[in-house]
Amino acid sequence: MARLLIIGSLEGELGAAARVAIARGARLGHAEGVGAGLERLRVEGADLALVDLRHDVVWLVQALAAERIACPVVACGRAEDAEAAVRAIEGGARDFLPLPPDADLIIAMLEAAGAAPRADAPLARDPAMATLLARVAQVARAEASVLLTGESGTGKEVMARHLHALSKRARGPFVALNCAALPETLLESELFGHEKGAFSGAVAARKGKFEQADGGTLLLDEIGEMDPRLQAKILRVLQEREVDRLGGGAPCKVDVRIIAATHRDLLTEVGAGRFREDLYFRLNVVALRIPPLRERPSDILPLADHFAARYAQVNGLPERALAPLARHRLMAHPWPGNVRELENAIHRAVLLAEGHEIGPDAIELSQPATPRATMTTAPAAPAAVPPSSPPGQVAALVGRKVEEVERELILETLSHCLGNRTRAAEILGISIRTLRNKLGEYRTAGIVVTPAPGQPPSPPQSSPQSTLQIAV
């Protein structure tokens, strides 16, 4: 039985929340203000505290932390209290409960009461992210499609999972598919499924991602990379709520909430004819932009501490704090790769660090690329060599084939991105399909290619024409 403490007047909408909690079997405590609430928590404790935003939520969170009282605090208020909700989350409140209260959401909070926060939940201390999380809490209970936008590496899938966890579909499946990771023919089969014998190699019937996500949420990641023909099929599923398996004779009804994510500007893609306008408006019912890490600097160090603790545990190493100079170096970096780059940098640092703390020497950071705006606005140099090129840099390329230089650039970029194909293609300014084709050619030539994250290295294919090996 969960122990719930409500701080605030029970005569208003918090009273409705209390009645829902009691009906669910919670043991209810009440205090009129945060001072009285702190006294009750000192004596009786609680698994969860719901605090009216009209009270000083941040003061209570800080007082609990100072006295080492473990009790998650949820701020409660109306939609127009967004600024106060942001301040509360910045100050350490675990979540925001919109009023009037939703019974299902209160039940979900009670069931999670006393449990540790989800490992994949977004970590937010910066006002920019706190504002976003308050908006997510408002829209999570709806059924509308959501469009997540943001640069590569900002954590769009993490936010999608968080939105699903707060939704009415939280008990249903969460299924994610990266639309850029598969060629068109395989992507269609993955999305819609197929019947036995639908094509060569279809030895058994298989459910697609839409059917797998029935009753839950489907994340279509990097939807901006999807072929227009498949976009039309996605639009039909959203309109008709049914899918046709490849080779199937009858449609299958599905009940799925769609979250789409992209690092592209879909309106620009619509204008260029690469993305369907009708599908864009179907997906863009609720638009949520995840700010890049450089726009949320207050999150850099909390995220770094979180990753340092996580990867110390994963690798069986002692947990070590970041030295002051290391923290300064992290704050000075522009983070073009966003949270993904920060996570990789801290993971490396945990492995490389020596001594009782993680020093600045263990923090290996990439050099940010020249901003495109600077490159496009600067006057064209009459010489073939850019003025910023180090002496001898271009001269060293003389006498080499273009194909060799291109190959080294692609493989070095892929290695820098730790095998992440999407990020490498974005840096190189080519499509993911072009990158995959190039990597396939290199493997055929016997060249070692950095594997994708989470995949074991695959041996290069032998080639009668070349036995060249390049370790990256």
Q: Please, are residues 469 and 445 in contact by the beta-carbon 8 Å criterion?
A: no
pLDDT at 60: 92
Name the one residue in this structure whose structure tokens are 């990158």. Answer: 435
Half-sphere exposure in the Cβ direction for 42 (13 Å, CA): 10
Model confidence pLDDT, tens digit, residues 278-301: 999 999 999 999 999 999 999 999
The token duo for 125 is 């201390």
Name which of 164, 182, 153, 206 is nearest 344 in CA terms.
153
CA distance 238 to 255: 10
Q: Kindly report the backbone phi and psi dihedral angles of residue 76, in degrees, each rounded to the nearest multiple of 5, phi listed first.
A: -125, 135
**Which structural domains are found in the chain, ordered by start?**
3-129 (3.40.50.2300), 146-197+204-289 (3.40.50.300), 293-362 (1.10.8.60), 395-472 (1.10.10.60)
Give whole-number Cα distances, 55 to 50, 125, 131, 275, 320, in Å. Answer: 11, 20, 19, 47, 37
* Neighbour-count burial of 377, counting CB atoms closer than 10 A to its CB (0-12 exposed, 13-18 middle, 19+ buried): exposed
Of residues 104 and 28, more confidence is placed in: 28
Which of 32-36, 134-138, 199-203 is predicted least confidently? 199-203
Q: Residues near 435 by Cβ (< 8 Å), separated by ≥ 6? A: 410, 421, 424, 425, 428
Sign of CA dihedral 339, 342, 348, 350: negative
CA distance 133 to 123: 10
pLDDT at 2: 66
Q: Kindly report the backbone phi and psi dihedral angles of residue 98, in degrees, each rounded to the nearest multiple of 5, phi listed first.
A: -70, 140
Length of the chain: 472
Outline where 76-124 has alpha helix (H).
82-90, 103-112
Strand 242-243, strand 252-253: pairing = antiparallel
Q: Is the pLDDT of residue 113 over 70?
A: no
pLDDT at 89: 85
Q: What is the pTM of this model?
A: 0.60
Name which of 450, 454, 410, 442 is nearest 428 in CA terms.
410
Q: Please, are residues 92 and 61 in contact by the beta-carbon 8 Å criterion?
A: yes
pLDDT at 400: 65
50-86 in b/e burial notation, b at 16+ Cβ within 10 A? bbbbebbbbebbebbeeeeeebbbbbbbeeebbebbb
Name which of 156, 171, 278 is nearest 228 in CA terms.
278
Model confidence pLDDT, tens digit, residues 181-221: 878 777 888 888 878 776 666 667 778 889 889 999 999 99
* Mean pLDDT estimate for the chain: 81
pLDDT at 217: 94
Express as a percent the part of the chain with pLDDT over 90: 33
pLDDT at 374: 33
Average pLDDT in the 56-75 region? 85
The token duo for 157 is 């899938």
CA distance 348 to 304: 12
Model confidence pLDDT, tens digit, residues 117-135: 565 678 888 888 888 888 8
CA distance 381 to 389: 12
Give whole-number Cα distances, 327 to 122, 185, 279, 319, in Å. Answer: 21, 46, 44, 16
Q: Residues near 156 by Cβ (< 8 Å), separated by ≥ 6? A: 148, 149, 150, 221, 261, 263, 290
* Neighbour-count burial of 430, counting CB atoms closer than 10 A to its CB (0-12 exposed, 13-18 middle, 19+ buried): middle
Residue 287, SS3 per DSSP: strand
CA angle 339, 337, 151 (to 5 degrees): 85
Give whole-number Cα distances, 183 to 90, 279, 289, in Å. Answer: 42, 20, 27
Q: Is the pLDDT of residue 377 over 60?
A: no
